Amino acid sequence: MSLQRALEVNELAPDLRPIYDEVRSAFDMPYVPTIFKAAAGNSTYIREMWDDLYEVACSKEFHASAETLNQFINAQVIGTRWRFSNQERLLTAQKFSPADVRVMAGVASTFQRALPRMALFTRLMQRGYSGGQRGRVSARHGSSPFARMITLHIPSESEASLRTWLIYSEIKRNTASKQVPSMFRAISPFPGYLASVWVDTKRLFADREFLQARDELSRRTLTLLHGLPVSDHRALMDDLHPEQWREIEQLVDGFARLVPQFAIAAAVWRRSFASAQSQLMAG
């Protein structure tokens, strides 16, 4: 099966469905990141890759590295002029209640928290098809009830209205991504708000200082891989054909390239809510 489309849990074979629950629990996320849904198109790959990296993703060492990355992003954002439009004013104009505005701030905060973890994990996936690396994890990170109690609905691309589909097409064209990132699909039920967030994001992506910060973040991510064990995934899956590996590499390399800039953008998005400044300062 192609890796072009993100598969929802109801589209998976029964033996693969528990992986999605494990992903949410391991990363402490209320949703399953798109890279897993796309990788599920190759059942052998997602099964063996996750079997190898599950304990790493659950580990204190991984979560400590991801938190270091999160703090690094916050430090990059603080002191800059990077802002999205005034989010409270924008949402109020679109008839969102004060309670709904707080919920949307929580959505932005979810991606601010999740994307540094994905920036780190996609690099581990790359190491898997590049020979692996030695390392050791000693203990599991204490999982919060967050991922089990709350589910953030991420609509599939097929659910998009015509207006949303046009925005999706522009996102893909501007980022050279084959999938629309979860942070945009999460707000797709509100096309007007989605359009505003995308316009602000696109403007941010054109900022020279932002691009430098993105590259710094990518370099910082690589340094945090040290000590996290990854097996040689090619050796584990020697029954996969070269063309299958090429498709896997294209998928993972694409996410590894894009996630750092979206991780910074999510921090800027969250910062653009009036309630965010003190939280950013506190980390």
- Burial label for 153, CB within 10 Å (0-12, 13-18, 19+), is exposed
Query: What's the whole-number average pLDDT of the chain?
Result: 93
Query: CA 206 to CA 81: how far, in whole Å?
Result: 14
Q: Residue 150's pLDDT band (boundaries 50, 70, 90)? A: confident
Cα 45-165-87 angle, rounded to 5 deg:
100
Average pLDDT score over residue span 258-267: 98
What is the predicted pLDDT for the residue at 5? 84
Question: Which is more confident, 36 or 143?
Answer: 36
Q: What is the share, in percent, of the chain residues with pLDDT greater than 70?
A: 94
Give the pLDDT score at 278: 37
**C-beta pairs of 83-90 under 8 Å, 24+ apart in sequence:** 83/268, 83/271, 83/272, 84/196, 84/197, 84/200, 84/201, 84/204, 84/268, 84/269, 84/272, 85/196, 85/200, 85/272, 86/272, 86/274, 87/269, 87/272, 87/273, 87/274, 88/273, 88/274, 90/193, 90/196
Average confidence (pLDDT) over 21-49: 95
Q: How would you classify residue 12: left for phi > 0, otherwise alpha for psi between -120 and 50, otherwise beta?
A: beta
- Looking at residue 279, its pLDDT comes to 43
Per residue in 59-95, pLDDT (tens digit) is 999 999 999 999 999 999 998 999 999 999 999 999 9
* pLDDT surpasses 60 at 54: yes
CA 62 – CA 117 distance, rounded (Å) = 8
Structure confidence at residue 274 as a pLDDT band (50, 70, 90): confident
Distances in whole angstroms, Cα of residue 7 to Cα of each of 43, 135, 141, 147: 11, 32, 28, 20
Give residue 147's pLDDT. Answer: 65
Residue 178 pLDDT > 50: yes
Residue 144 pLDDT: 67
pLDDT at 140: 77
pLDDT at 1: 60
> Do 211 and 264 touch, CB atoms closer than 8 A?
no
Sign of the Cα torsion 235, 48, 6, 213 reads negative
Measure the CA–CA gap between 152 and 108, rounded to whole angstroms: 11
pLDDT tens digits, one per residue of 188-229 = 999 999 999 999 999 999 999 999 999 999 999 999 999 999
- Residue 143, pLDDT score: 66
**What's the pLDDT score for residue 149?**
78
**pLDDT band at 174, cuts 50/70/90?**
very high
19 C-beta neighbours (distance < 10 Å), count: 22
Structure tokens at 100: 């709904």
pLDDT of 277: 44
Predicted confidence at residue 142, as pLDDT, reads 65
106-131 pLDDT, tens digit per residue, is: 999 999 999 999 999 999 999 999 99
Predicted TM-score (pTM) of the model is 0.92
Kindly state the average pLDDT of the residues 236-244: 96
At 94 the pLDDT is 93
* pLDDT in the model for residue 275: 64
